[in-house]
Amino acid sequence: EENKIAIKTTKPPPKILLQPSNPYYDEINEVVSRHIHRIYEKTKGGEDTWECIAEEGELKVYKREIEENGIVLDPLKAVHTVTGITGHEVCHHFWDIKVRMDWEATLESSDVVEWLSEDTFICHNVIKRVWPASQRDAVFWTHIRHVPGESDEEPDVWIVVNYSTDHKSVPNGKYVRVTMNVAMVCQTIIDPPADGKITRDNIRCKISYTADVNPGGWAPASVLRAVYKREYPRFLKRFTSYVKDATAKKEVMF
Which residues make up the interface to ligand 18C (CB under 6 A)? 100, 104-106, 125, 127-128, 130, 133, 136, 162, 178, 180, 182, 213, 215, 219-220, 223-224, 227-228, 231-232, 235
CA angle 164–146–33, rounded 5-degree value: 50
CB nearer ligand 18C, residue 36 or residue 223: 223
Question: In the bound complex, what is the minimum distance in angstroms from residue 211's beta carbon to ligand 18C?
Answer: 6
Question: In the bound complex, what is the minimum distance in angstroms from residue 13's beta carbon to ligand 18C?
Answer: 18
CB nearer ligand 18C, residue 141 or residue 232: 232
CB nearer ligand 18C, residue 122 or residue 127: 127
Those residues with Cβ within 8 angstroms of residue 235's Cβ, 6 or more apart along the chain or in another chain? 103, 104, 105, 106
CA dist., res. 244 & res. 238, Å (int): 10
Question: Contact at 8 Å (CB) between 27 and 40?
Answer: no
Q: What are the b/e assignments for 182-195, b being 16+ CB within 10 Å?
A: bbbbbbbeeeeeee
CB nearer ligand 18C, residue 61 or residue 85: 61
CB nearer ligand 18C, residue 84 or residue 215: 215
Question: In the bound complex, what is the minimum distance in angstroms from residue 247's beta carbon to ligand 18C?
Answer: 19
Question: Contact at 8 Å (CB) between 4 and 126?
Answer: no
CA dist., res. 124 & res. 108, Å (int): 11
CB nearer ligand 18C, residue 97 or residue 190: 97
Those residues with Cβ within 8 angstroms of residue 83's Cβ, 6 or more apart along the chain or in another chain? 200, 201, 203, 204, 205
- Cα distances from 153 to residues 43, 59, 75, 242, in angstroms, run 19, 24, 30, 30
Closest CA to 182 of 206, 168, 163: 163
Question: In the bound complex, what is the minimum distance in angstroms from residue 238's beta carbon to ligand 18C?
Answer: 9
Question: In the bound complex, what is the minimum distance in angstroms from residue 160's beta carbon to ligand 18C?
Answer: 9
Question: In the bound complex, what is the minimum distance in angstroms from residue 135's beta carbon to ligand 18C?
Answer: 8
